[in-house]
Amino acid sequence: MVAAAGGAPTRPPANIEDFLWNIHTVLAAQPGPFSIDLVKDAYSKHLGHKCAIERFLVVGEGGLAATLKRIPHIVNVTTDGTGATVVSASQSADLSKAQLIDADSAYRRELIKKNALAKAKAQAAGAATGKSPAPTAKAPAPAAAAAAAEIV
């Protein structure tokens, strides 16, 4: 393993918060924005273990850039003067892990509020047009659940 900057290799992240902290420390250690193509290499060199972003975040058709854009409270994804996609840390380099976790929690709460508001608007629009909202899955009735349990 490659030694992490300033010490021995670190352990791979155990959860999303550890992974976000690792990404933050890697980006904050850079002198400025750098190519998105170098993120995984910079991560490995800085921390001494492979960047397994797919373990914590869904990397879809949009690739790494689209994935990192979903965590704007951790990573700034921009385009430089040449049109290349570059990344940098959204938070200051002196941020503590606890502060980063608090920022992540606040961002997630904000997303939940936005999603609930959008859902409420969609339901209100459906009610205004006379359309009923999409059916939701319901738990089976107690009698049906008991019958299903007897079959097994």
DSSP characters over 24-63: HHHHHTSSS-EEGGGHHHHHHHHHSS---GGGTS---TTH
The tens digit of pLDDT for each residue in 67-118 reads 999 999 999 999 999 999 999 999 999 999 999 999 999 999 999 999 999 9
Of residues 90 and 151, more confidence is placed in 90
Q: Which carries the bigger pLDDT value, residue 18 or residue 139?
A: 18
Tens digits of residue pLDDT in 130-145: 665 555 555 444 444 4
Q: Which residues of 33-61 are buried (b: 16+ CB within 10 A; e: fewer)?
A: bbebeebeebbbebbbbebebeebbeeee
Pairing of strands 85-89, 34-35: antiparallel
